[in-house]
Amino acid sequence: MKALKWVNHLITFLLSLLLIALVFSVIISKASGGEPQIMGYQLKSVLSGSMEPGIKTGSIIAIKPGGDNTRFQKGDVITFKESEKKLITHRVQEVTGSGKNTQYITKGDNNNAADTNPVLAANVVGEYKGFTVPYVGYLLNGAQSKAGSALLLILPGILLLFYSAVTIWKAIKEVEVKKDAPSTSN
């Protein structure tokens, strides 16, 4: 019985922690322009299979933004702006130019040929640092919408309320059973 009580407390704590973390994450994401960040790393959703098998479609990856965008070498994996609204994460195949004229020829690991347009150093958003969580990118991508953000805030709250109601109901039943039990007095 003591183990069950401990498990109840643990579940309540974890659901509460999840709710607080999600609220905090959504607020921070919206305040910073919609880019979730953890300890200086930006989380990005991968929506294509161009980097498979290393980075699966639907994964989230952590990239380190900033720094000298002319520092990358052959083999580094970078995230760059292909257009104002489209980010791509590919591996550097070749570096051309130097200084402000540095350009990268990139290619997805799963693609047959290099990308058609070289990437200007100024268009590099950050460097992929090897952290990948499969399938969570679908959730992160959905969370960027207003409906997804609302769902991520409401769902843990509903789960916590439901779990609390079940716990209260069980406690009431236990009290009623003890109250109805015959007393053994001499």
Catalytic one of 29, 45, 48, 183: 48
**Of 81, 39, 37, 83, the residue nearest 60 (C-alpha):** 37
Query: Position of tokens 């690991």?
Result: 109
At 7, list the tokens: 């498990």
Is 183 noted as a catalytic residue in this protein? no
C-alpha 137/C-alpha 9 separation (Å) is 30
At 180, list the tokens: 């109805």
Three-state secondary-structure class, residue 73 = coil
C-alpha 164/C-alpha 9 separation (Å) is 11
Q: Catalytic residue positions?
A: 48
